[in-house]
Amino acid sequence: MSRAHPRDVQLTSDGRLKHFLSIHGLPKSLLTEILDTAESFVNMGEQSVKKVPLLRGKTIVNLFFENSTRTRATFELAAKRLSADVLNLDIKTSSTSKGETLMDTLQNIEAMYADMFVVRHIDSGAAHFIASQITPKVAIINAGDGRHAHPTQAMLDMLTIRRHKGEFEGLKVAIVGDILHSRVARSQIRALKTLGAAEVRLIAPNTLLPVGVEEMGARVYTRMEQGLRDVDVVIMLRLQKERMSGALLPSESEFYRLYGLTQEKLAYAHPEAIVMHPGPINRGVEIESAVADGPRSVILQQVSYGLATRMAVMSMAMSGQMQERAQLQEEGLTTVNSDKGEPA
Residues annotated as binding site for L-aspartate? 98, 183, 238
CA pair distance 253, 203, nearest whole angstrom = 17
Residue 176 pairs with which residues in a beta bridge?
Answer: 203, 236
Cβ-in-10-Å burial (0-12, 13-18, 19+) of 192 comes to buried
Reduced to 3 DSSP states, what percent helix, strand and coil does the chain have, rounded to the nearest 5?
A: 45, 15, 40
**Of 10, 28, 70, 53, nearest in space to 310 by CA:** 70
Q: Are 114 and 59 in contact (CB under 8 A)?
A: yes
**Of 72, 62, 66, nearest in space to 117 by CA:** 62
Q: Rounded to an integer, what is the distance from CA 199 to the centroid of its chain?
A: 21
Task: Write out the binding residues.
Answer: 70-71, 98, 120, 150, 153, 183, 238, 279-280
Q: Are 120 and 68 in contact (CB under 8 A)?
A: yes
Task: Write out the binding residues for carbamoyl phosphate.
Answer: 70-71, 120, 150, 153, 279-280
Residue 173, helix vs strand vs coil: strand
Residue 220 has phi, psi (to 5 degrees) of -105, 135
